[in-house]
Amino acid sequence: MDEAKSNRPEEWTKPEVEQVAVAAATAVLVRDAAGSAKGIEVLLARRNSKIYFAGGAWVFPGGRIDAEDHGTEFAGDHFDEGHEDFLDVARRACVREAAEEADAVINADDLVFMSHWTPPLEAPKRFSTYFFMGPAPTETLTADGEEIHELEWMRPADAMHRRNEGEIELIPPTFITLALLAPFASAADALAYYRDNSPEFFVTKFTRKDGYNIALYAGDAGYEVGDASVPGARNRLLMGEGDWVYERDV
């Protein structure tokens, strides 16, 4: 991987938050759609419905970053996200979680840092989550049967449609990531785009307007004041009783 384009910590600054969130990492694995279908497919995993966080939802494989992910250069639990090698630690967490949850063998060097997600301070459980995109593994995948009960390759637009039809559950970071990936014609295009561009940081602010729960993100005209009625640029997820809609001007 070209280190000049790997978005090392010295090249970006993670937004500050007041309450410490648990460091986590997620693997967004992509492949070209099968058969005559166009575009890409992503691997989604259905979480055990009895799990407190996102129970029953379809998510990308991943989880909290453990001490073992830091490797031999650290003694004990070292969770300093400001360390210059922390992205390598997060990549190793993706490799471990993909293996544990889906029997997927992936290479840390192939993982491209695409985004970071921080929930609002009022969230009951908060994770500081690093999303990495990588090429699909070639072997047959199997859900672990404990934390993950089912695996499926889905086209991003199909997954969003199934969520809006009530067939599956998604959480906002998954839905928005799917919306951002839906336009890509191939897995190679998606990987090249995120390899050549800086990661995007999503720090969520929740509000309500016209019967919708709304998640606001940086770049939205109402983001700074937390007011969805402010006219102007849009970067928000509208979450109504039926459809979810991601509005984004760029």
Confidence tier at 79 by pLDDT (50, 70, 90):
low
Alpha helices for 36-150 (secondary structure H): 86-102
Instruction: Specify whether the CB–CB gap between 48 and 147 falls below 8 A.
Output: yes
In 3D space, the residue among 96, 88, 110, 127 whose CA is nearest the CA of residue 9 turns out to be: 88
Rounded CA-CA distance 134/105 in Å is 11
Report domain extents, the chain. Answer: 19-203, 204-250
Confidence tier at 230 by pLDDT (50, 70, 90):
very high
214 Cβ contact partners less than 8 Å away, ≥ 6 residues apart: 206, 207, 208, 228, 236, 237, 238, 239
Instruction: Specify whether the CB–CB gap between 49 and 116 falls below 8 A.
Output: no
82 Cβ contact partners less than 8 Å away, ≥ 6 residues apart: 9
Query: What are the pLDDT digits (tens) for 163-193?
Result: 999 999 999 999 999 999 999 999 999 999 9
Q: Which residue has the higher pLDDT, 48 or 118?
A: 118
Mean pLDDT of the chain: 87
Say what the pLDDT of residue 49 is: 61
Say what the pLDDT of residue 70 is: 81
Predicted model pTM: 0.87
Side chain identity, residue 66:
D
Domain 19-203 has CATH 3.90.79.10: yes
* Residue 177: HSE in the Cβ half-sphere, 13 Å Cα cutoff: 33
Helices 156-164 + 172-181 axis angle, to 10: 140
Query: Per-residue pLDDT averaged across 17-31, rounded?
Result: 84
